[in-house]
């Protein structure tokens, strides 16, 4: 707010817009400038009215008038915007104005403005698009990107702004401008869940449409996100690569394991015997224990998972507990020792599994673990069980 207020005072002194902003030009800066004129800070001089400082229709005065509390002054200032290209951001702001006359006039002017200027303000357009009346400029931007030259779109595909990046990729996917391999690479490496899903789905659709893989599925199968890996695993079925799905039966993500079981079954193999064999190996993958619980038989497979509850690898112990929970084979006396397990992940898994059995615990035993001397995971687990049993936590 202080930076915006500084810009307002500079504009009131008649200084050019770029100089007044001091090099700041982000979407948030323009929104802050608008608010600073309309709602001056508490330390503004009494009777402050920035737009009254200079009645001449110069750029600084027009910028201030565009943000004035009076809708009539904002509307009148719109007729001068075309003289000053640097005021385009404030024209975008006024397209979401609460006053209908201001809003409609601003929209008519923005529709006539060069598309390149609007595209350059994509971040501001999308920020204002979150407002109740902010949809017009977003629609205008979308049309400019869908129908305009690809040169307008390409810089936005590298934007540091997440909303802009997502919007640009949606349009690029619709226009078929991103090669499948690049889509797969983005899906596999991006940390944005929305972008992951968008690009993974588009990459799989491209492979399905052309019948050519070119390494697309292999990239998806190495994705950071379980949803991306799941998309790759599911696509193995259409590619006829059923056997490769076996390697993903023990994935750390439950959705990937479920997709792998589906593909393996489509290839004519029952995944349950595979899980049983994987869980009896000397080196057990944690996902194997979870997968056995997800598709196993309570009578036939519970003993295998109970044996894995004592496995030296804490990840296997935690997933064995999750497997028992999935099989509805949890016994309080069997999992009770795990509430003191050295691994916090195992303690948390055991706590979740034992919540339905909370009333069976000795209250004094739980209270003994709800103490400052206990590790945090143990203390949190004890409190969850106490609350589930209807007992208050006293420490």
Residue 371 has a pLDDT of 87
In a domain, 234, yes or no: yes
Find out whether 315 and 290 touch, Cβ atoms under 8 Å.
no
Please state the domain count of the chain: 1
Cα 177 from Cα 18, distance rounded (Å): 35
In a domain, 226, yes or no: yes
Q: In sequence order, which residues have a C-beta less than 8 Å from that of residue 391 and are 6 or more positions away?
A: 363, 366
Residue 52 has a pLDDT of 55
Cα 236 from Cα 243, distance rounded (Å): 9
Residue 13 has a pLDDT of 85
- Going by the DSSP 8-state scheme, the letter that residue 191 receives in this structure is S
| pTM score | 0.84
**Nearest Cα to Cα of residue 203 among 248, 225, 162, 235:** 235
Q: Kindly state the tokens that stand for 165.
A: 């990046």
Tell me the residue range of the domain where 234 lies. Answer: 178-268
Residue 394 has a pLDDT of 65
Upper half-sphere CA count for residue 271 (Cβ side, 13 Å) = 29
Per-residue pLDDT of the chain (395 residues; tens, 9 = 90+): 568 888 998 888 888 999 999 988 999 999 999 999 988 776 767 666 665 554 455 899 999 999 999 999 999 999 999 999 999 999 999 999 999 999 999 999 999 999 999 999 999 999 999 999 999 999 999 999 999 999 999 999 999 999 999 999 999 999 999 999 999 999 999 999 999 999 999 999 999 887 788 899 999 999 999 999 999 999 999 999 999 999 999 999 999 999 999 999 999 999 999 999 999 998 999 999 999 999 999 999 999 999 999 999 999 999 999 999 999 999 999 999 999 999 999 999 999 999 999 999 999 999 998 888 899 999 999 999 999 988 877 65
In a domain, 73, yes or no: no
In a domain, 192, yes or no: yes
How far from each other are the two terminal CA atoms of the chain, in whole angstroms?
44
In a domain, 233, yes or no: yes
In a domain, 246, yes or no: yes
* E-assigned strand segments in 173-287: none
In a domain, 350, yes or no: no
In a domain, 142, yes or no: no
Q: Kindly state the tokens that stand for 168.
A: 């640009």
Residue 34 has a pLDDT of 94
Find out whether 242 and 264 touch, Cβ atoms under 8 Å.
yes
Upper half-sphere CA count for residue 377 (Cβ side, 13 Å) = 15
């Amino acid at each position: 707010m202080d930076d915006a207020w500084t810009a307002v005072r500079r504009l009131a002194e008649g200084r050019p817009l770029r100089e007044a902003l001091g090099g700041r030009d982000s979407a948030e800066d323009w929104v802050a400038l608008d608010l600073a004129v309309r709602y001056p800070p508490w330390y503004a001089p009494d009777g402050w009215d920035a737009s009254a400082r200079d009645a001449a229709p110069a750029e600084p005065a027009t910028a201030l008038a565009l943000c004035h509390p009076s809708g009539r002054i904002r509307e009148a200032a719109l007729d001068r915007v075309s003289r000053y290209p640097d005021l385009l951001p404030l024209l975008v702001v006024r397209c979401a104005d609460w006053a209908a006359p201001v809003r409609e006039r601003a929209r008519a002017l923005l529709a006539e403005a060069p598309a390149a200027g609007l595209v350059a303000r994509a971040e501001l357009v999308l920020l204002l698009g979150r407002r109740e009346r902010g949809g017009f400029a977003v629609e205008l931007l979308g049309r400019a990107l869908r129908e305009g030259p690809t040169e307008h779109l390409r810089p936005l595909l590298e934007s540091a702004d997440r909303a802009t990046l997502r919007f640009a990729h949606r349009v690029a996917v619709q226009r078929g401008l991103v090669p499948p391999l690049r889509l797969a690479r983005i899906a596999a490496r991006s940390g944005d869940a929305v972008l992951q899903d968008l690009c993974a789905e588009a990459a799989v659709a491209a492979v399905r449409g052309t019948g050519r893989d070119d390494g697309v599925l292999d990239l998806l199968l190495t994705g950071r996100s379980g949803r991306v890996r799941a998309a790759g695993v599911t696509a193995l079925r259409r590619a006829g690569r059923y056997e490769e799905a076996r390697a993903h039966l023990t994935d750390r993500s439950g959705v990937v394991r479920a997709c792998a079981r589906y593909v393996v079954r489509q290839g004519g193999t029952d995944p349950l015997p595979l899980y049983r064999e994987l869980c009896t190996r000397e080196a057990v993958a944690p996902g194997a224990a979870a997968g056995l619980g997800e598709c196993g038989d309570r009578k036939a497979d519970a003993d295998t998972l109970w044996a894995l509850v004592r496995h030296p690898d804490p990840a296997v112990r935690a997933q064995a507990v999750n497997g028992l929970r999935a099989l509805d084979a949890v016994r309080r006396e069997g999992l009770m020792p795990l509430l003191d397990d050295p691994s916090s992940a195992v303690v948390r898994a055991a706590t979740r599994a034992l919540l339905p059995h909370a009333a069976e615990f000795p209250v004094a035993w739980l209270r003994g673990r709800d103490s400052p001397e206990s590790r945090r995971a143990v203390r949190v687990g004890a409190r969850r069980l106490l609350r589930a049993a209807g007992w208050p936590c006293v420490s």
